[in-house]
Amino acid sequence: MKFKGLAAFVVLAGLATGVMSAVAAEPEDTMIITLKDGDVTVALRPDLAPKHVEQIKKLVREGAYDNVAFHRVIEGFMAQTGDVQYGDMEDGYDPALVGTGGSELPDLPAEFSNEPYVRGVVGMARAQDPNSANSQFFIMFAPAPSLDGQYTIVGAVESGMEFVDRIKKGENALNGAVADPDRMIKVRIAADGN
């Protein structure tokens, strides 16, 4: 199984703390992630990454992201989740494997853009192969210009970033791996209602 996390060599120095101003999305392109502290509303960007957004919405509608762990969370950088194969907190969560899996859907070709990685941006995790994103994604705590043009951007947080900030952080010595991680309790598309 190939590794799906962000490359460990990403430069973290010099991160600013500005907040991205998200564009309001239509309900069909609005993803709502329920965390332990409240709901996070994400404006998905099919204009930037139509194939990735389509796959995320398919997984959301299947319930694949419900109860999935934030398995890699680095203070001042990002919170990664979406390993639907090994990250389910209720059905066989495996801390030794979480972060290496994807979904039963195919990996996707890169849809890189000129949008910058700033606070609140949601990007797709991948292996070294740029065309290996599948189900895992991450939410930025702060800008990371080293990611610009290297990872597909699928959206941005519209509201609830304060709840993202409260996600349990991992150990720096373990590249952000989280023991007893927080999870996405429920994930839905706004157009579908509750």
pLDDT digits over 61-102, tens only? 999 999 999 999 999 999 999 999 988 877 767 777 888 889
| Average pLDDT over the chain, rounded to an integer | 87
Q: List strand residue ranges (DSSP E) for the chain, in order.
A: 30-35, 38-44, 68-69, 72-74, 78-81, 121-124, 137-140, 153-159, 183-184, 186-189
**Domain boundaries defined on the chain:** 27-192
pLDDT digits over 145-173, tens only? 999 999 999 999 999 999 999 999 998 88
Question: Is residue 105 within 8 Å of 58, Cβ to Cβ?
Answer: yes
Assign a CATH topology to domain 27-192. Answer: Cyclophilin (2.40.100)
Question: Is residue 58 within 8 Å of 158, Cβ to Cβ?
Answer: no
Q: What number of helices (H) and strands (E) belong to the chain?
A: 2, 10
